[in-house]
Copies of this chain bind each other. A is one copy, B any other.
Amino acid sequence: MIRVAICAPSASFPRELVAPVEAVAARFPGVELHFHPQCFAAEGHFAGPDDMRLEALLDCANDPAFDAVWFARGGYGSNRIAGEAMARMGDAARHKLYLGSSDGGYLLGALYRHGIGQPVHAPMPLDVKRGRGEEAIARVLGWLSGDNAGIEAGLDATPTVAFNLMTLAMLTGTTLMPDLSHHVVLVEEVSEHLYAIDRLFFHLSETLPRDLAGLRLGRVSDVPENDRPFGTEAEEIARQWCHKAGIPFLGRADIGHDHANAIVPFGPIDRASPLGIPGFTLGKRDAGA
């Protein structure tokens, strides 16, 4: 049995979406979901105050009964607790999967930097509310159950990470930022103007390591209309900045704020390994018990 703890380090998870998530989970008898009560807390923008979100995350991460911690949703805020969370993660936290995307990228990045557990870019419980959202949930639960089909295509021994573009730009230069030298970086974005996309690529092209293995562009969706057309589409923007920075542009990626968002375990990938992750074993907890 794979036990997954769900908490909300960013924004609040609507209680009425638990049932639809559980309904999908019922098809995966090898996986057990545990919603931490903090998921449903709300204070202003966040799923409870910083302290509450931090403690809930640590409850999940430091409990040896769980194999994985799944971020309920994004929505901004995990950066506010990520630094302290890393400092307080114990031994049980080091043998877990951490799954999420969008704003959850702050935690994935920080975990990767600190070598704590296995960060995984993945759909999140809130995705259930999207059209075909059950597919996103099933992709994660299927992967946890041994089906590597949901892993992003084209990943190999070259270590890879995946981030929301804004999240990655805000991470650069901070104490949460992992060293991405020799990595392939996948980025996606939602609800940002194309001029903002261009601006974020400017920032990243200047601040990412010079020896990046390459960049792939996920979906750039729900671009708001501006008072004038930008004049260049998202892929061309990415190509231009990669070219300017000497970063190989490696094409598109199947990630984004949508039901099709693929799974990207951070680091090197071997699709023949369990979970596609060479050297990682789920259930170390059981072995050690």
* Assembled-state Cα–Cα distance A46/B232 (Å): 11
Interface string of A24-37 (1 = CB under 8 A from B): 00000000000000
A143 located at the interface, meaning its Cβ lies under 8 Å from any Cβ of chain B in the complex: no
Chain B residues within 8 Å of A175, by CB: 206
Known contacts A76-B198, A199-B79; is-contact A228 B44 (Cβ 8 Å):
yes
- CB pair B202–A79 under 8 Å, yes or no, is yes
* Assembled-state Cα–Cα distance A166/B200 (Å): 10
* Assembled-state Cα–Cα distance A174/B230 (Å): 23
A279 located at the interface, meaning its Cβ lies under 8 Å from any Cβ of chain B in the complex: no
Interface string of A149-184 (1 = CB under 8 A from B): 000000000000000001001101111100000000
Known contacts A43-B231, A45-B231; is-contact A174 B226 (Cβ 8 Å):
no
The one of B174, B203, B228, B232 that contacts A170, using a Cβ cutoff of 8 Å? B203
- Copies of this chain present in the complex amount to 2
- CB pair A202–B44 under 8 Å, yes or no, is no
- CB pair A207–B45 under 8 Å, yes or no, is no
CB under 8 Å from chain B, chain A span 193-220: 194-195, 198-200, 202-203, 206-207
Known contacts A45-B195, A226-B45; is-contact A202 B232 (Cβ 8 Å):
no
- CB pair A44–B207 under 8 Å, yes or no, is no
A94 located at the interface, meaning its Cβ lies under 8 Å from any Cβ of chain B in the complex: no
- CB pair B172–A173 under 8 Å, yes or no, is yes
A80 located at the interface, meaning its Cβ lies under 8 Å from any Cβ of chain B in the complex: yes
Known contacts A206-B173, A207-B174, A226-B45; is-contact A199 B231 (Cβ 8 Å):
no
A229 located at the interface, meaning its Cβ lies under 8 Å from any Cβ of chain B in the complex: yes
- CB pair A44–B229 under 8 Å, yes or no, is yes
Chain B residue, CB-CB nearest to A82: B202
Known contacts A76-B198, A173-B173, A198-B76; is-contact A44 B203 (Cβ 8 Å):
no
- CB pair A170–B202 under 8 Å, yes or no, is yes
Which of A42, A44, A166, A206 has the most B CB atoms < 10 Å from its CB?
A206
Partner-B contacts on A (CB < 8 A): 42-46, 76-77, 79-80, 166, 169-170, 172-176, 194-195, 198-200, 202-203, 206-207, 226, 228-232
What are the nearest 6 A-B pairs in CB distance? A44-B231, A174-B206, A173-B207, A173-B173, A76-B195, A45-B230
Q: List 5 A-B contacts (CB under 8 A).
A: A44-B228, A45-B228, A172-B207, A173-B173, A173-B203
Given contacts A170-B203, A173-B203, A176-B206, 18 further A-B contacts (CB under 8 A): A44-B228, A44-B230, A45-B194, A45-B228, A45-B229, A45-B230, A45-B231, A76-B198, A80-B202, A166-B199, A169-B203, A170-B199, A170-B202, A172-B207, A174-B202, A174-B203, A174-B206, A175-B206
